[in-house]
Amino acid sequence: MVEVAIAEPGELAAAQLEAAESLVRAAFGPSFRSHDWLHALDGVHVVLTAGDALLAFGAVVPRTLRHNGRALDTGYVEAVAVRADQQGSGLGAVVMDHAENVIRARHEVGALNAVESATGFYARRGWTPWTGHTQAAGPAGVIDTYADADRIYLLCPQPLDPGAALVCDWRPGDLW
Ligand SMILES: CC(C)(COP(=O)(O)OP(=O)(O)OC[C@H]1O[C@@H](n2cnc3c(N)ncnc32)[C@H](O)[C@@H]1OP(=O)(O)O)[C@@H](O)C(=O)NCCC(=O)NCCS
C-alpha cells in the first residue's frame, strides 16, 4: 500500500534525503545537477513510500515572484519524480495533488520549470505555460533570463499579464 507523507522543511532525516536524491537523479538522468537538488531541499516534501521503499517525491519551495508591481508569495515545485518502474501508475498525480494542496493553502501562486517531456503532465492538471518575458532580481539588479530550456508553468487563481515581466528571486544554479 502506498503511503503519503508531507514533511515540513528540515523534517526528513539525512538517509531519507539521500534516498530521495538518488530517486530524483535517476528519474531526471545526467542533466540533473547538484544545484538542482539543492533547490529542492528547503521546501515542504511530498514523499510516497511502500514499506521501506521510496516510490515518488516532490518539493514545494517558497520563493517570491514579482509581477506588475506585486510580490507574489510562490510555491515553487521542484524535483517531482517517480521511480522508473512505477511511472504511469498514477503516483506522479498523487505527488502533484499534495503539492498543489500545499500551494493553495500556503501560497498565492504556484510555479515550476518543466522538463520538455513533462509539460503535458502539468498542462493536463491545469498548469498554464507562461508566455511572457522572464527576468531575475539579482545582486546587481534585474537581469533578463533568456533560456531556451525554460518552460515556466503557473498555477494561479487569476491569470497574470503576459505583457509584464515575471521576475524571480536570485539563487545559485538555474534561476528558474
Ligand atoms: C513526469 C512524472 C513525474 C509523471 O509521473 P507518473 O506517475 O508517470 O504520471 P501519472 O501516472 O500520475 O500520470 C497522471 C496523468 O498524467 C499523464 N501523464 C503522465 N506523464 C505524462 C507526460 N510526460 N506527458 C503527458 N501526460 C503525462 C498520464 O497519462 C495520466 O493521465 P490520466 O490522468 O488521463 O490517466 C514521471 O514520469 C517522472 O518521474 N518522470 C521523470 C522525471 C520528470 O520528468 N519529472 C518532472 C520534471 S518537471
Range 70-86 average pLDDT: 98
Q: For residue range 8-43, what is the model confidence (pLDDT) as tens digits?
A: 999 999 999 999 999 999 999 998 998 999 999 999
Q: Taking 90 as the threshold, does the pLDDT of residue 149 lie above it?
A: no
Hey, how many other C-beta atoms are within 10 angstroms of the C-beta on 62? 15
Q: Which of 123, 119, 174 is nearest to 151 (CA)?
A: 119
Give the nearest ligand 1 atom to 87 CA. 8
Q: Are 95 and 48 in contact (CB under 8 A)?
A: yes
Range 59-84 average pLDDT: 98
> Could you tell me where the beta strands, DSSP code E, fall in 83-146?
109-113, 128-129, 134-138, 141-144
Q: Which of 13, 24, 7 is nearest to 61 (CA)?
A: 7
Round the average pLDDT of the chain to a whole number and report it: 96
Task: Supply the pLDDT for residue 105.
Answer: 98
Task: Supply the pLDDT for residue 146.
Answer: 82
Percent of the chain with pLDDT over 90: 95
Closest residue by Cα to atom 26, ligand 1, is 121
List residues bridging with 153 in a β-sheet: 112, 129
Range 158-169 average pLDDT: 96
Give the nearest ligand 1 atom to 84 CA. 39
Q: Taking 80 as the threshold, does the pLDDT of residue 148 lie above it?
A: no
Calpha distance 123→153 (Å, rounded) = 8
Decide: 115 in ligand 1 pocket, CB within 6 A.
yes
User: Which residue bears the cell 511511472?
Assistant: 87
Range 100-127 average pLDDT: 98
